[in-house]
Each structure stands twice: as structure tokens, then as C-alpha cells.
Amino acid sequence: MASPSLQDGIDRAGSPVKLLWKPNAAPWTPEVVAREYAGWREEQAAWHEGVALLNLSHHMYDMFIEGPDATRLLADLGANNFENFAVGQAKQYIPVTRDGNIVTDGILSRDAENTYTLSGIPTAQHWVRYHGEQGGYDVTYVTDPSSAFRKSGDPKLFRYQIQGPLASELVERAFGGPLPPTKFFHSSPVTLDGRDFRALRHGMAGQAGYEFIGAWEHAEAVREALLRAGEPFGLVQVGALAYATPSVESGWVPSPVPGIYSDPELLAYRRHIALYGIEGQRPLGGSFFSENIEDYYCSPYELGYGKMISFNHDFIGRDALRKAKDEVLRKKVTLVFDADDVRKALGDDPGFVLSYSRHRVESRSGLVGITCQSASIDPVGTVLSLTLIDQRYAEPGTEVSVVWGEHPGPGTAPNADLGFPRIRATVQPAPFNQHARTLYRRDA
């Protein structure tokens, strides 16, 4: 018996929103990695004040794309510029639907002339592979699921990040000297204790750092070497709780709702996608509720990816993005929650807060925005929230309120007053971290 498709799930539930609506769903945190090592507060402090080690090996879903048509396939589906895509470089890959809504982003690395690795949640990988197979591109695909989807065995690759103000000093100690000069989001081959792998210049929450990527057989040896080199610097390992929070500071919205659920022309695609994949299981919840799934879609412009979009080639969604370029209604901002209101709403000691729920953001005139991710940021002393907000309320310093609660979903009016607490918040830029906002990409 064939496994049910995403469209099967939508049909049985009655709508995409009814399928996905799961209030109070536990927030995602990385698989396999311990929840905490030193404690989430100390771990957050490490990449702000010292140096931290983060293990990305288990939650990244990889697809290795190779063949004469690899570049053409990725360019036909991506809004990025492929004319200046160097071997050893990585880009934030931006596939969109024909309506210009983002499918989701991913990290695309060019490993050789006709070889790429697409990493992240598998939504973008599913989109690329489906269109590649349907379009008859001369390309092969090898997938390495994340540990949440892998049935057995180890990952193909290890990924370790060294992040924080002391990252460069730790790396020099580990490798016996500075690494080769490398632009942001470019990689260089490196060797540590006779083991060859790659070092990607990559920061997190605006801090300096590297991401080391190599064959899994060397994973434990490389990790131990980095831990030894980090001892004099007070290296802190980061657990799953703290790991899920730097995206709020760096301004990256994880896992936006893919714009695939409603377009009639994507019916065959929805019948191809498995119901029990991420597209059918990633939950919706929060105080914002709409029966229309399209109210959850967003464009790459709203996510801050406008500078990465290139119209020098044809791709799915190109015409829609051209039309949308000068008509962006919402902007990505950071909301800084009032600390006293957080305590009133969540308790005197709210502890660790992490939510991917879409919460209502209101002004006196009503709904003005929707949160995308909210998290405790201990060095800031409160909760921050990445939010898409109407342009007229996006000016830093603007005061709004966040409705904190979980709407029950279908059967209750979207605008029903359910008695949820309001948390005052102040609009600030995204990325919130000034280094990330001003210097993070200057060498890209």
C-alpha cells in the first residue's frame, strides 16, 4: 500500500490549516545533542563573551547534487546569482513558487564545477529533486537525512561550529597557526592531526567563527582536538536548547511556511510529497490563527533576502518577484519584550522560553504583525522575537504588544478575545546583534 501523500493529508483534514494546526506543540530542538551542557544561560554567554562549540552533525538534512545539469537545475529553481558562484563558496539558496512565495531557504555549497551540497530542512531538497526529475535534468541525487529521519547508521558528514570572540585564537591553537585567509561563506581545505576536511568562514549571532565539515569517520577525533585546544579559553559546548536561539539574534527565520499548499498547479507536487515528511508535520500554532494557509506564506523580500535575488536568469517565480519588489508590505524586525510583562505572563522565573508559534502583534489599530520565532536571550535579559510586521510599524522604537497564547484553531473565530496576556514589546532592527547587522557580511 502506497504511503499517504501531503495532498491525501490535506483532503482528509479538510484544509492545509486543519492538517497543520497543533497548538502547544513542543518546539523543535536539534536531535541527539544533549539539551544542556553547562546550562543554557552559560552556553549563550559563551558565544557572546568567550568561545562555544556547536554540533550540527545530526540535524542537517543533506542532498548531494551532481551532474552536467546541476548548475542549470539549481539556477532554474533559485533566485540567487549563479554567475559568481565559486567552487568552495556557500550561499543561502532561495527557491520560490510561481507566486513568489518562499519554499524555504537552505545552505547551498558548490563543492566542484558540477557538484553541490544542499543542506538544511528537507523542504528545499524535495522541491529541487522533484523538479529535477520531472524536468529530465542530467543530475544524480544522494540524500543523507538528518538523524530525525535517518532510519539507521551515522551521518555522512560531521559539522562543528567554533563561535565567539575567542574563536580565532582557539582555531590558531588547534591548527598551529591561522587558517588561510577566506571570505565570509567561503571554505578552505584544512588538515588537523592528519585528517583533511573543510573550514567554512561562518558566524552565528554576529560573532566570529568557523564551521568545520568533513567525513564522519573523523568526527570524534576532530571534536576531541577542538575540545583540547579550547580548554585554555574556557570553551563551552552548546546544547540543544541554547543552539535553537542564535537565529533570533542573527535575524534568520527558520523554516518559514512553504508556499506549496494552495496553488492548483502544485497538486501533482503535493501528491508526490509524503504526508509524514516535514511539509505535512511541521506544526502551526500561536495566538494568530487564520483558516487561509496563504496568510502564513511570506516572500523572500519580507525575510530580508532582497539583496540576494538576481534577475539575470530565468527561474520559477521570477515574474512574481519582479512585481513584488517595490510592493513589500511587511518587514522583518526584532521585538524586544518588556521583561516585567514576560514575568507577569509566564511567571516570576519564566526560565527558558522557545516558541516557533505565530503570535499576534498588535497596535491600537489591531493586528500589525506575526511573530516567527521567540526565545530567551539571557545576555539581553529578556525574550526577543523575530517578527514580520507592517512597514508603517517597522521603525525602531515603535511600541506594540504581543498576544501570548495558543488559539484552539478551527471552530473558534480568528479574532476571538480569548483572554490571552498582552506583552509589551519594542521594535528593533533585525538582525538584532549590531555586529551581525553591520559587519557580518562585509567580506562576502
Place of cell 530565468: 314
Query: Which pTM was predicted?
Result: 0.94
Provide the pLDDT for residue 439: 41
Confidence of residue 204 (pLDDT cuts 50, 70, 90): low
Domains of the chain (ranges, CATH numbers): 40-60+152-250 (3.30.1360.120), 330-438 (2.40.30.110)
Average pLDDT of the segment spanning 431-440: 57
Residue 258 has pLDDT above 90, yes or no: yes
Residue 443 has pLDDT above 80, yes or no: no
Confidence of residue 440 (pLDDT cuts 50, 70, 90): very low
Query: Which one, of 164, 207, 161, 202, lies nearest residue 185 by Cα?
Result: 202
Confidence of residue 149 (pLDDT cuts 50, 70, 90): confident
Mean pLDDT of all residues belonging to the chain: 94
**d(C-alpha 103, C-alpha 124), whole Å:** 6
**d(C-alpha 50, C-alpha 264), whole Å:** 51
Average pLDDT of the segment spanning 180-203: 93
Under a CB-based contact definition with an 8 Å cutoff, are residues 291 and 15 in contact? yes
Query: Which one, of 84, 315, 115, 59, lies nearest residue 186 by Cα?
Result: 84
